[in-house]
């Protein structure tokens, strides 16, 4: 007996690892050798390719395809209909399956609805990619990026609030009370 839930309309190929407490909803396909951590929530119409690794407590909203080469660490949120790519120069008549570029979404990061992540980049810890953004380069920890191409407009707390830094480059999350410091264009939680 499985200690995770799968809706009867979904397909789970043999050879997957799926952690306890995870939920896989309607019309999903999880390919062989995919790894899904504990307490993940996989929304309707999600495809997870062979070799993909999802950490614990990853939430994937509806209509997302997670292609080979993607790794999502713990507590990642993937918004509805966001898009990963895995080849930088795809052509229908040219097989580039051996050229999949690695994309890493680090712990606690959020990718908003309809955002596109061009392969081969890293999304930093607790970074926040706004809805519809197109990521074409690495995103630093705690950065808020918007637009096409995505550009940084602010810094975010681990609770998802914009950080307001004072003259001493210190900020406090309004929800958690956690303190952050901006130093050398990097944010660290104290």
Cβ-contact 104, 122 below 8 angstroms: yes
- Is there a contact between 125 and 119 (Cβ–Cβ < 8 Å)? no
**Does 165 have pLDDT greater than 80?**
yes
pLDDT at residue 103 in the model: 98
Q: What is the pLDDT of residue 45?
A: 98
How many Å apart are CA 149 and CA 136, to the nearest integer?
6
- pLDDT of 1 reads 59
Q: What is the mean pLDDT of residues 19-30?
A: 98
Based on its alpha-carbon atoms, the radius of gyration of the chain, rounded to whole angstroms, reads 17
Domain limits, the chain: 5-160
In the chain, what is the greatest distance between 2 CA atoms, to the nearest angstrom?
Answer: 57
Average pLDDT, the chain: 97
Which overall architecture, per CATH, does domain 5-160 show?
3 Solenoid (2.160)
Is residue 2 scored above 80 in pLDDT? no
Say which DSSP state 89 is in. Answer: S
pLDDT, residue 80, reads 98
**pLDDT above 90: residue 146:** yes
Average pLDDT over residues 160-167: 97
pLDDT, one tens digit per residue, over 82-136 is 999 999 999 999 999 889 999 999 999 999 999 999 999 999 999 999 999 999 9
User: Average pLDDT for residues 160-188, to the nearest whole number?
Assistant: 97
């Amino acid at each position: 007996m499985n200690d995770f839930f799968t809706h009867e309309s979904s397909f789970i190929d043999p050879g997957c690892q799926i952690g306890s407490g995870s939920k896989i909803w309607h019309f999903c396909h999880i390919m062989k050798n995919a790894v899904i951590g504990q307490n993940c929530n996989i929304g309707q119409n999600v495809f997870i390719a062979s070799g993909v690794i999802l950490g614990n407590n990853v939430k994937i909203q509806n209509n997302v395809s997670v292609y080979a080469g993607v790794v999502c660490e713990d507590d990642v949120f993937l918004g509805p209909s966001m898009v990963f790519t895995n080849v930088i120069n795809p052509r229908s008549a040219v097989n580039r399956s051996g050229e999949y570029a690695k994309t890493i979404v680090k712990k606690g990061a959020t990718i908003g609805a309809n955002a596109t992540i061009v392969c081969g980049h890293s999304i930093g810890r607790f970074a926040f990619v706004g809805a519809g953004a197109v990521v074409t380069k690495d995103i630093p920890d705690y950065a808020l990026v918007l637009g096409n191409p995505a550009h940084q407009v602010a810094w975010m707390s681990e609770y998802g609030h914009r950080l307001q830094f004072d003259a001493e480059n210190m900020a406090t999350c309004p929800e958690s009370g956690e303190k952050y410091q901006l130093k050398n264009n990097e944010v660290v939680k104290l």
